[in-house]
Amino acid sequence: MLKANIAVFVSGGGTNLQALIDAQESGIIHSGEIKVVVSSQKDAYALTRAANAGIPGVAVVKKECGSQEAYEEALMKVLKEYDIDMIVLAGYLSILSGDFTSKWPNRIINVHPALIPSFCGKGYYGLKVHEEALKYGVKVSGATVHFVNEVPDGGQIIYQKAVEVQDGDTPEVLQRRIMEQAEWVLLPRATEKVCADIVKESAE
Protein backbone atom coordinates (compact mmCIF):
# COMPACT_ATOMS: atom_id res chain seq x y z
CA MET A 1 0.00 0.00 0.00
CA LEU A 2 1.11 3.52 -0.76
CA LYS A 3 2.23 5.49 2.30
CA ALA A 4 2.96 9.16 2.91
CA ASN A 5 6.56 9.91 3.91
CA ILE A 6 6.81 11.75 7.24
CA ALA A 7 9.59 13.96 8.64
CA VAL A 8 9.43 14.68 12.36
CA PHE A 9 11.07 17.92 13.52
CA VAL A 10 12.35 17.90 17.11
CA SER A 11 14.45 19.99 19.49
CA GLY A 12 14.71 18.08 22.76
CA GLY A 13 13.87 14.84 24.53
CA GLY A 14 11.49 13.57 21.90
CA THR A 15 8.60 12.31 24.04
CA ASN A 16 6.13 13.24 21.30
CA LEU A 17 8.40 11.57 18.74
CA GLN A 18 8.29 8.42 20.88
CA ALA A 19 4.48 8.57 20.87
CA LEU A 20 4.59 8.72 17.05
CA ILE A 21 7.07 5.83 16.80
CA ASP A 22 4.90 3.74 19.14
CA ALA A 23 1.77 4.64 17.15
CA GLN A 24 3.49 3.56 13.94
CA GLU A 25 4.50 0.24 15.50
CA SER A 26 1.01 -0.39 16.90
CA GLY A 27 -0.70 0.46 13.60
CA ILE A 28 -2.44 3.69 14.70
CA ILE A 29 -0.34 5.38 12.02
CA HIS A 30 -0.68 3.11 8.99
CA SER A 31 -1.08 5.55 6.07
CA GLY A 32 2.34 7.07 6.62
CA GLU A 33 5.87 6.19 7.67
CA ILE A 34 8.47 8.24 9.54
CA LYS A 35 11.40 8.47 7.13
CA VAL A 36 13.63 10.98 8.94
CA VAL A 37 13.89 12.85 12.24
CA VAL A 38 15.31 16.37 11.94
CA SER A 39 16.65 18.02 15.08
CA SER A 40 17.48 21.68 15.67
CA GLN A 41 20.03 20.56 18.30
CA LYS A 42 22.90 18.12 17.81
CA ASP A 43 22.61 16.65 21.29
CA ALA A 44 18.80 16.24 21.39
CA TYR A 45 17.84 12.92 22.98
CA ALA A 46 15.17 12.62 20.29
CA LEU A 47 17.97 11.64 17.85
CA THR A 48 18.83 8.71 20.13
CA ARG A 49 15.16 7.66 20.13
CA ALA A 50 15.17 7.80 16.31
CA ALA A 51 18.35 5.69 16.13
CA ASN A 52 16.87 3.14 18.56
CA ALA A 53 13.86 2.82 16.22
CA GLY A 54 16.08 2.48 13.14
CA ILE A 55 15.01 5.86 11.74
CA PRO A 56 17.63 8.17 10.19
CA GLY A 57 18.29 11.31 12.23
CA VAL A 58 19.78 14.59 11.02
CA ALA A 59 20.75 17.70 12.98
CA VAL A 60 20.27 21.01 11.16
CA VAL A 61 21.48 23.79 13.48
CA LYS A 62 20.36 27.32 12.67
CA LYS A 63 23.49 28.99 14.13
CA GLU A 64 25.71 26.93 11.86
CA CYS A 65 23.69 27.93 8.80
CA GLY A 66 24.17 31.65 9.40
CA SER A 67 20.72 32.88 8.36
CA GLN A 68 17.06 31.84 8.44
CA GLU A 69 17.16 31.49 4.66
CA ALA A 70 20.20 29.20 4.66
CA TYR A 71 18.71 27.24 7.55
CA GLU A 72 15.47 26.61 5.68
CA GLU A 73 17.38 25.73 2.51
CA ALA A 74 19.25 23.08 4.50
CA LEU A 75 15.93 21.75 5.84
CA MET A 76 14.45 21.63 2.32
CA LYS A 77 17.47 19.65 1.14
CA VAL A 78 16.85 16.98 3.78
CA LEU A 79 13.12 16.88 2.96
CA LYS A 80 13.88 16.41 -0.75
CA GLU A 81 16.43 13.72 -0.02
CA TYR A 82 13.85 11.65 1.89
CA ASP A 83 11.00 12.51 -0.50
CA ILE A 84 8.89 13.87 2.35
CA ASP A 85 5.13 14.44 2.01
CA MET A 86 4.36 15.88 5.44
CA ILE A 87 6.13 17.39 8.46
CA VAL A 88 5.21 16.85 12.10
CA LEU A 89 6.58 19.42 14.56
CA ALA A 90 7.02 17.49 17.81
CA GLY A 91 8.47 19.85 20.41
CA TYR A 92 10.32 21.79 17.71
CA LEU A 93 11.43 25.15 19.05
CA SER A 94 12.63 26.92 15.90
CA ILE A 95 10.19 29.22 14.12
CA LEU A 96 9.68 28.51 10.41
CA SER A 97 9.17 31.48 8.09
CA GLY A 98 6.02 32.11 6.09
CA ASP A 99 8.11 31.47 2.99
CA PHE A 100 8.85 27.94 4.22
CA THR A 101 5.37 27.10 5.52
CA SER A 102 3.68 28.36 2.34
CA LYS A 103 5.51 25.60 0.42
CA TRP A 104 3.75 23.03 2.61
CA PRO A 105 0.07 24.06 2.77
CA ASN A 106 -1.83 21.68 5.08
CA ARG A 107 1.23 19.45 5.22
CA ILE A 108 2.84 20.69 8.45
CA ILE A 109 1.21 19.96 11.79
CA ASN A 110 2.19 21.00 15.30
CA VAL A 111 1.08 20.03 18.79
CA HIS A 112 0.59 22.88 21.26
CA PRO A 113 0.21 22.15 25.00
CA ALA A 114 -2.89 24.31 25.57
CA LEU A 115 -6.36 24.82 24.13
CA ILE A 116 -5.76 27.36 21.36
CA PRO A 117 -6.57 30.31 21.34
CA SER A 118 -5.55 30.28 25.03
CA PHE A 119 -1.88 30.54 26.01
CA CYS A 120 -0.50 30.41 22.49
CA GLY A 121 1.47 32.47 19.99
CA LYS A 122 4.98 33.87 20.14
CA GLY A 123 6.90 32.96 23.28
CA TYR A 124 4.39 30.37 24.47
CA TYR A 125 6.15 27.02 24.48
CA GLY A 126 7.30 24.37 26.92
CA LEU A 127 6.69 24.96 30.62
CA LYS A 128 5.84 28.64 30.07
CA VAL A 129 2.43 27.59 28.69
CA HIS A 130 1.60 25.63 31.85
CA GLU A 131 3.00 28.32 34.17
CA GLU A 132 0.71 30.90 32.56
CA ALA A 133 -2.31 28.59 32.64
CA LEU A 134 -1.83 27.96 36.37
CA LYS A 135 -1.17 31.65 37.05
CA TYR A 136 -4.45 32.48 35.30
CA GLY A 137 -6.28 29.89 37.38
CA VAL A 138 -7.92 27.93 34.57
CA LYS A 139 -9.70 24.74 35.62
CA VAL A 140 -9.25 23.06 32.24
CA SER A 141 -6.28 23.06 29.90
CA GLY A 142 -5.25 20.51 27.27
CA ALA A 143 -3.59 20.21 23.90
CA THR A 144 -4.26 21.25 20.32
CA VAL A 145 -2.96 19.80 17.07
CA HIS A 146 -3.13 22.32 14.26
CA PHE A 147 -1.84 23.00 10.78
CA VAL A 148 1.15 25.34 10.66
CA ASN A 149 1.11 28.59 8.72
CA GLU A 150 3.02 31.87 8.93
CA VAL A 151 1.35 32.83 12.24
CA PRO A 152 2.75 31.05 15.35
CA ASP A 153 -0.03 28.69 16.54
CA GLY A 154 -2.33 30.34 13.99
CA GLY A 155 -3.19 27.50 11.60
CA GLN A 156 -6.46 25.61 11.36
CA ILE A 157 -7.19 23.34 14.32
CA ILE A 158 -7.34 19.59 13.59
CA TYR A 159 -7.98 18.13 17.07
CA GLN A 160 -8.27 19.39 20.63
CA LYS A 161 -8.57 17.54 23.90
CA ALA A 162 -9.32 19.05 27.30
CA VAL A 163 -7.45 17.94 30.42
CA GLU A 164 -8.50 18.80 33.96
CA VAL A 165 -6.27 21.08 36.03
CA GLN A 166 -6.07 19.72 39.59
CA ASP A 167 -5.53 21.51 42.89
CA GLY A 168 -1.85 21.64 43.77
CA ASP A 169 -0.67 21.15 40.18
CA THR A 170 2.82 22.41 39.43
CA PRO A 171 3.70 23.35 35.83
CA GLU A 172 5.70 20.09 35.59
CA VAL A 173 2.83 17.91 36.87
CA LEU A 174 0.32 19.60 34.57
CA GLN A 175 2.72 19.29 31.61
CA ARG A 176 3.06 15.55 32.19
CA ARG A 177 -0.72 15.01 32.51
CA ILE A 178 -1.40 16.96 29.30
CA MET A 179 1.26 14.97 27.45
CA GLU A 180 -0.10 11.61 28.59
CA GLN A 181 -3.82 12.37 28.24
CA ALA A 182 -3.82 14.66 25.21
CA GLU A 183 -0.59 15.23 23.24
CA TRP A 184 0.40 11.57 22.88
CA VAL A 185 -3.16 10.69 21.86
CA LEU A 186 -3.89 13.54 19.46
CA LEU A 187 -0.59 13.88 17.61
CA PRO A 188 -0.52 10.29 16.23
CA ARG A 189 -4.22 10.52 15.35
CA ALA A 190 -3.76 13.80 13.48
CA THR A 191 -0.65 12.46 11.73
CA GLU A 192 -2.62 9.45 10.48
CA LYS A 193 -5.50 11.68 9.35
CA VAL A 194 -3.22 13.95 7.26
CA CYS A 195 -1.30 10.96 5.84
CA ALA A 196 -4.56 9.26 4.83
CA ASP A 197 -5.67 12.48 3.07
CA ILE A 198 -2.32 12.69 1.21
CA VAL A 199 -2.55 9.04 0.10
CA LYS A 200 -6.14 9.58 -1.05
CA GLU A 201 -5.16 12.71 -3.02
CA SER A 202 -2.29 10.95 -4.77
CA ALA A 203 -4.53 8.01 -5.68
CA GLU A 204 -7.15 10.23 -7.30
- Whole-Å CA distances, 119 to 27, 63, 71, 96: 33, 28, 28, 20
Q: Could you say which of 30, 112, 130, 146 is catalytic?
A: 112
Confidence band of 130 (pLDDT split at 50, 70, 90):
very high
For residue 117, cis peptide bond before it (omega within 30 degrees of 0): yes
Indicate if 146 belongs to the active site: no
What is the predicted pLDDT for the residue at 1? Answer: 64
pLDDT digits (tens, 9 = 90+) for 66-125: 999 999 999 999 999 999 999 999 999 888 999 999 999 999 999 999 999 999 988 898
What is the predicted pLDDT for the residue at 123? Answer: 87
What is the predicted pLDDT for the residue at 204? Answer: 83
For residue 152, pLDDT over 90 is answered with no
Q: What percent of the chain has pLDDT over 90?
A: 91
The sheet with strand 157-164 has its strands ordered as: 57-59, 32-39, 4-10, 86-89, 108-112, 140-147, 157-164
3-state secondary structure of 32: strand
Residue type present at position 108: I
Single pTM value for the model: 0.95
Into which CATH architecture does domain 4-111+145-157+183-203 fall?
3-Layer(aba) Sandwich (3.40)
